[in-house]
Homo-oligomer: A and B are copies of this chain.
Amino acid sequence: MHHTAAPAHFFLALQDQFGSRFTRGDSARLQHGRDESVHAPELPDAVIFAHSTDDVATAVRLCQQHKVPLIAYGAGSSVEGHLLAVQGGVSLDLSGMNQVLAIHTDDLDAHVQAGVTRKQLNDALKGSGLFFPIDPGADASLGGMAATRASGTNAVRYGTMRDNVMAMTAVLADGRVIRTGSRAKKSSAGYDLTRLLVGSEGTLGIITELTVRLYPLPEAVSAAVCPFGSIDDAVTTVIRTIQMGIPVARIELLDALTLTAINRFSKTSLPEAPTLFFEFHGSNASVKEQAETVQGIAAEHGGQQFEWATRPEDRTRLWQARHDAYFACLQMKPGSRAFPTDVCVPISRLAECIQATNTDLRQVSIPVMLFGHVGDGNFHLVVLIDPTDPKEMKEAEWINERVVDRALAMEGTCTGEHGIGLGKKKFMVKEHGQDAVDVMRAIKHVLDPEGLLNPGKILPD
Chain B residues closer than 8 Å to A346, beta-carbon distance: 104, 106-107, 109, 183-185
Tell me whether A345 is interfacial, beta carbon within 8 Å: yes
Q: Tell me, in angstroms, the Cα distance from A239 to B433 when the chains sit together.
A: 45
Other-chain contact of A424, B189, B199, B215 (Cβ < 8 Å): B189
Mark contacts of A353-386 with chain B using CB atoms, 8 A cut-off: 1 yes-contact digit, 0 otherwise: 0000000000000000000000011100000000
Q: Which of A217-276 contact B (CB under 8 A)?
A: 218, 239, 242-245, 247
Q: Which of A155-187 contact B (CB under 8 A)?
A: 155, 159-160, 162-163, 172, 176-180, 182-187
Tell me whether A445 is interfacial, beta carbon within 8 Å: yes
Chain B residues closer than 8 Å to A418, beta-carbon distance: 188
In the assembled complex, the CB of A82 is this many whole angstroms from the nearest CB of chain B, namely 10
Tell me whether A422 is interfacial, beta carbon within 8 Å: no
Q: A172–B289 contact, CB under 8 A?
A: no
Tell me whether A64 is interfacial, beta carbon within 8 Å: no
Tell me whether A123 is interfacial, beta carbon within 8 Å: no
Q: A416–B186 contact, CB under 8 A?
A: yes
Q: A191–B199 contact, CB under 8 A?
A: yes
Q: Which of A10-18, A69-77, A304-312, A436-444 contacts B (4 or more CB under 8 A)?
A: A436-444
Q: B182–A192 contact, CB under 8 A?
A: no
Chain B residues closer than 8 Å to A420, beta-carbon distance: 188-190
Tell me whether A84 is interfacial, beta carbon within 8 Å: no
Q: A431–B198 contact, CB under 8 A?
A: no
Q: A439–B178 contact, CB under 8 A?
A: yes
Q: Tell me, in angstroms, the Cα distance from A200 to B188 when the chains sit together.
A: 9
Tell me whether A108 is interfacial, beta carbon within 8 Å: yes
Tell me whether A8 is interfacial, beta carbon within 8 Å: no
Tell me whether A34 is interfacial, beta carbon within 8 Å: no
Q: B190–A440 contact, CB under 8 A?
A: yes
Identify the interface centre among A107, A190, A442: most chain B CB within 10 Å of its CB.
A190
Other-chain contact of A411, B184, B196, B282 (Cβ < 8 Å): B184
Tell me whether A86 is interfacial, beta carbon within 8 Å: no
Q: Tell me, in angstroms, the Cα distance from A418 to B187 when the chains sit together.
A: 9
Tell me whether A148 is interfacial, beta carbon within 8 Å: yes
Q: A187–B243 contact, CB under 8 A?
A: no
Q: Tell me, in angstroms, the Cα distance from A148 to B190 when the chains sit together.
A: 9
Chain B residues closer than 8 Å to A427, beta-carbon distance: 189
Tell me whether A125 is interfacial, beta carbon within 8 Å: no
In the assembled complex, the CB of A109 is this many whole angstroms from the nearest CB of chain B, namely 7
Chain B residues closer than 8 Å to A160, beta-carbon distance: 186
Q: B419–A348 contact, CB under 8 A?
A: no
| CB closest residue in chain B, given A419 | B188
Chain B residues closer than 8 Å to A416, beta-carbon distance: 184, 186-188
Tell me whether A286 is interfacial, beta carbon within 8 Å: yes
Chain B residues closer than 8 Å to A345, beta-carbon distance: 183-184
Q: Which of A271-324 contact B (CB under 8 A)?
A: 282-283, 285-286, 289
Q: B182–A431 contact, CB under 8 A?
A: yes
Q: Tell me, in angstroms, the Cα distance from A176 to B432 when the chains sit together.
A: 13
Q: A348–B106 contact, CB under 8 A?
A: yes
In the assembled complex, the CB of A183 is this many whole angstroms from the nearest CB of chain B, namely 4
Other-chain contact of A414, B107, B189, B204 (Cβ < 8 Å): B189
Chain B residues closer than 8 Å to A163, beta-carbon distance: 159, 163
Chain B residues closer than 8 Å to A190, beta-carbon distance: 199, 420, 428, 431-432, 437, 440, 458-459
Other-chain contact of A191, B200, B239, B435 (Cβ < 8 Å): B200
If A163-B163, A178-B439, A188-B413 are given as contacts, then 10 extra A-B residue pairs at C-beta distance below 8 Å, sorted by A number, are A106-B239, A151-B186, A178-B433, A184-B411, A186-B417, A187-B344, A189-B428, A189-B432, A190-B437, A191-B196
5 contacts between A and B (CB under 8 A): A104-B348, A182-B412, A184-B413, A186-B416, A191-B444
